[in-house]
Amino acid sequence: MSTEPAEFTQLLLQWSKGDRAALDALVPLVYDELRGIASRSLQRESAGHTLQTTALVHEAYLRLVEQDRVRWQNRTQFFAIAASLVRRILVDHARTGNASKRGGGAQKAPLDEAAIFSPRRPADMLALDDALSELSAMDERKCRIVELKFFGGLTAAEIASVLDLSEATVRRDWSMARAWLFQQLKPKDAE
C-alpha cells in the first residue's frame, strides 16, 4: 500500500468521528488489500466454490462500513477486523451451502495441516470454524492469532501490534494453536 500508515490512521480516526469524506478516501486505499485477503481465503476453498473474490470483497466492505462501535486505531487493526469479517462471511456461505445438502449423506472432508495452512488445498470451512470456536473457548488469544494469520494474512509483527503482544509470544501461540488445530482436524481414522 502506497499510503503511509500515519495517513491511513488519520483517515480511520476521521471516519470514526463521522467524516464520510474520510471513508470515501479510504475505499481506494483498502480495496487492493481487501482483495488480497479475500483471494488468499478463497484459494483455500474447493475449486467449485460459488463465492467470487469480488463478491467477498464487497461483502467485507459493506460489513466494515457498518462497524460504528469500533474505535479505529490503525491500519493493522482495520485489516484484523477485515480478516475476522472474511472468516464470518465464508462460514455463513458454507453454512448456507450445506443447508441444502442436509440429509444427503454427505460427509465432512477431514483436514490435514497442509489444507489448513496452505493456499494450494481446499479446506472445510465449517470444520475449521468449529475448531476455532472450540479453541476460542479454551484460549481466545490463540484463536485470534490464528484468525489474523490465516484469514488476514498478517505477519507476526502485525499481529503483535494488533494484540499488544511480543512477536515471540505470537510465534509461540501460533505454533501451539497450529498443533492443536492439526489434532482437532485430522481424520479420525488416522489416529
Q: How deeply is 170 buried, as exposed, middle or buried, from its count of CB atoms within 10 A (0-12, 13-18, 19+)? A: buried
Q: Mean per-residue pLDDT for 62-83?
A: 79
Q: Do residues 82 and 37 touch, judged by C-beta distance below 8 A?
A: yes
Percent composition of the chain: helix, strand, coil (DSSP 3-state, to 5): 70, 0, 30
Confidence of residue 98 (pLDDT cuts 50, 70, 90): low
> Would you state the cell numbers that stand for residue 137, as one nine-digit string?
473457548
Overall pTM surpassing 0.75 (yes/no): no
Q: For residue range 116-151, what is the model confidence (pLDDT) as tens digits? A: 544 433 447 788 888 999 999 999 999 989 988 888
pLDDT value of residue 80: 79
Q: Mean per-residue pLDDT for 80-100?
A: 78
Which has the closest alpha carbon to 155: 83, 101, 97, 99? 83
> Which H helix or E strand runs over 128?
helix 125-138
Quote the distance between the C-alpha of residue 10 and its chain's center: 24
Structural domain boundaries in the chain:
5-190
Counts of helices then strands in the chain (DSSP H, E):
9, 0
> Would you state the cell numbers that stand for residue 149, as one nine-digit string?
494469520
Is 3's pLDDT higher than 70?
Answer: no
